[in-house]
Amino acid sequence: MHELSIAEEMVEILVGHLADYSGSSVESVVVAVGDYSGVDPESLRLVFPFAAEGTPVEGSELIINTIRVSVKCLDCGERTDKISTPLCSTCGSRNLEFDSGRELEITSFDISTDKK
């Protein structure tokens, strides 16, 4: 599954950050997922615990912020928040500029360091 490899990548990034804080674990993760990122938020939520299993990220809360698409056509100037193909719905141009909607990134995360 596509989302699983993305979740694994996120876990890897988080584990990398944790290297600076020994004995710490991740409590919660906030990720931004654009409507045009090609990632299904529900699938990501579903597979995240599997990717986190056995790592300090295990048991953390995944908070997904979906980002609406905002795209501007550089040829005709049309701006839209609805896009299903990488083409301008008005003039058919591929010359599109995404202001938002393609995000797929960890926005922030909380670390718990009080393990005794």
Tokens 């010359």 belong to which residue? Answer: 95
Q: Is 74 in the site for Zn ion (CB under 5 A)?
A: no
Among 78, 80, 100, 102, binds Zn ion (CB under 5 A): 78
Pick out residues in 80-99 that bind Zn ion (CB under 5 A): 88, 90-91, 93
Q: Quick one: tokens of 40?
A: 């299904």
Q: Select 2 or 94, whichever has its Cβ closest to Zn ion.
A: 94
Helix locations, 1-116, DSSP H = 2-18, 41-52
Residues that bind Zn ion (CB under 5 A): 73, 75-76, 78, 88, 90-91, 93
